[in-house]
Amino acid sequence: MLLKELSALASPLSQGQVDKLKQFTSELSSVQLAWVSGYLAASASQSQTTGATVAETSAAQTVTILYGSQTGNGRGVAQALAAKAQAQGYTVNLTSMGEYNVRQLKQETLLLLVVSTHGEGEAPDDAIELHKFLASKRAPKLENLHYSVLALGDSSYEFFCQTGKDFDARLSALGAKALLPLVECDVDYEDAAAQWQDSVIEAAKPHIQTSGARVTAIGTTAIAGQSQYTKQNPYSAEVLVSQKITGRDSDRDVRHVEIDLGESGLTYKVGDALGVWFSNNEALVDEVISGLDLDADETVTVSKESYSLKAVLTDKKELTQLYPGLVKSWAELSGSAELAAICEDKEQTRQFILANQLADLIAAYPAKVSATQLVDMLRPLTPRLYSIASSQAEVESEVHLTVALVEDERQGHARFGGASHFLASAEEGQQVNVYVEPNNHFRLPENPQTPVIMVGPGTGVAPFRAFMQQRVADGVSGNSWLFFGNPHFEQDFLYQVEWQQYLKNGDLSRLDVAFSRDQAHKVYVQHRIAEQAEALWQWLQNGAHVYICGDAERMAKDVHQALVNIAVEQGGLSADDAEAYFETLRSEKRYQKDVY
């Protein structure tokens, strides 16, 4: 009854805060609820009688820090900024954009935003609502607001830092005043972000009243409550298994990897990702060094620390992924007119980057480069994120991954993806540095009985293995439908025995598979979805949640279009209304994607 009344009120809380309140109160007895109610009432009364002065100045004293983050980088920068601001004695409201109540915006006086750009210039999942609100006619005038934006991006992509640019332009158009010009950060963002944190705190000082300010974190992301193991401080875990699960004649090598989290205390929820730090392959490192005729033992400096060149190229620098700035610098060093011409065209540059690694660049366009020059040109090594393929309700202190080995042959040389090769070649007992990256925008429904539709071709099936383990542990039977696809039934049916057992037991209601190369015409998951249009539409009408995981470039777009077509054909909606329908589902967390 209490929750129904809460829902009926015009809540000053964000949806994320309401969800957390519901989750907390659902675990309490009637006696406990009564005690909490009295406690909150007394706290509110005390605030009204003794906190009037604080209330009058709190807007000026509070620094609101919002982050929009797809891979956790933005959240990490925002948390570090909050810690620095708190150390200065400022009251800080640190919140994900996805949990921020947009109606609060007109009350803000100091707003610091950290936001990444996802896909083709799109806002990350947790920033979509705020991004849309600011661009809409409902956005208020913000003449009393001072703000600053730090934009995170990857210059390998055309729409570099686009979301940050959008936020900066829109806030300015609404009358807000920038404390600092927009700061754009590439993949190696740490130094620029740290400089912005210090500069923006200094720029905010004239606008902050510090007397009486509480050094607390308001909002839903408490800094102190974080796991001790993070991207910056990963846990050294042990590899238990790295087993190939595609057939002998498959054209792809997919591994099931099991990692022991030991006594770390690391916990994860289904839908989360595991961050994996890796070392570059020794043969690749040697090829780079010999290709440039450098000395592997030469001492070089990285972040004011001294290492051998080989150590840096093994554990500190990115060798398997190029970026536009490196290609441009190499064109100048090599004096190659051909490479310079490629750099003049964004699309040609993008295709070149996708098709080549550093070793290929060295072989094709010889240049004389010193060890220091090389190290300074290369980006820092970054961890890779893998969707977790297990539930701790079943595997306890383990974490499972489904890893596709990225491999190719170029000019007679085998080329591999850095992290996938590291995991695929890992032996039992090998150590790997890991951390959990939460994904609150890829979660099972709050009500376990809610139907779920899962679309996960290839390794995109990984989180749905975790979903099924969790639902079985929760005692949920049925109301689940999986669409899976891969080239061949006999070679590429990942976790086939498990899916068939779930189906036999009634844990999985339906399983539709698309093996694209097993017949004359190619069949993909979107075709199976179209074939099941009537039943799928009925599931949606019955409140089903839809999840898509896997390739963002083509699969996710094709599946989305198939779903839109179903809304048109089965629901009688126009194309625009069908798009709006799925946008509504997305905002209600009934349509979630984990794509890459």
Amino acid at 22: K
Paired strand residues for 511: 482
Closest CA to 437 of 490, 382, 481: 382
pLDDT in tens, 191-216: 999 999 999 999 999 988 654 444 34
Mean pLDDT of 264-289: 97
Confidence label for 226 from pLDDT (cuts 50, 70 and 90) = low
Using the predicted structure, report yes or no on whether residue 294 has a pLDDT greater than 50.
Answer: yes
Closest CA to 129 of 143, 144, 139, 114: 139
* H helical segments located in 344-461: 346-355, 358-364, 371-377, 392-395, 418-424
Confidence label for 158 from pLDDT (cuts 50, 70 and 90) = confident
Using the predicted structure, report yes or no on whether residue 59 has a pLDDT greater than 80.
Answer: no
Using the predicted structure, report yes or no on whether residue 546 has a pLDDT greater than 70.
Answer: yes
Give 50: exposed, middle or buried? Use CB within 10 Å, 0-12, 13-18, 19+.
exposed
Q: From CA 552, how far away is CA 562, in angstroms rounded?
A: 15
Mean pLDDT of 386-406: 98
Closest CA to 300 of 311, 315, 291: 311
Q: From CA 102, how far away is CA 94, in angstroms rounded?
A: 14
Q: From CA 76, how far away is CA 553, in angstroms rounded?
A: 27
Residues 158, 163, 167: CA angle, nearest 5 degrees = 140
Using the predicted structure, report yes or no on whether residue 52 has a pLDDT greater than 50.
Answer: no
Using the predicted structure, report yes or no on whether residue 51 has a pLDDT greater than 50.
Answer: no
Q: How far is CA 75 from CA 1, 68, 193, 382, in A?
A: 36, 7, 12, 16
Angle, helices 128-135 vs 162-173, to 10°: value is 40
Using the predicted structure, report yes or no on whether residue 178 has a pLDDT greater than 70.
Answer: yes
- pLDDT score of 6: 42
- pLDDT score of 343: 95
pLDDT in tens, 432-442: 999 999 999 99
Distance from chain centroid for Cα 273: 8
How many residues can be counted in the chain? 596
Mean pLDDT of 533-538: 98
For the chain, percent of residues with pLDDT exceeding 90? 80
Whole-number average pLDDT of the chain:
89
Using the predicted structure, report yes or no on whether residue 97 has a pLDDT greater than 80.
Answer: yes
The domains of the chain, with CATH numbers, are: 1-50 (no CATH), 52-218 (3.40.50.360), 235-278+383-437 (2.40.30.10), 282-377 (1.20.990.10), 452-595 (3.40.50.80)
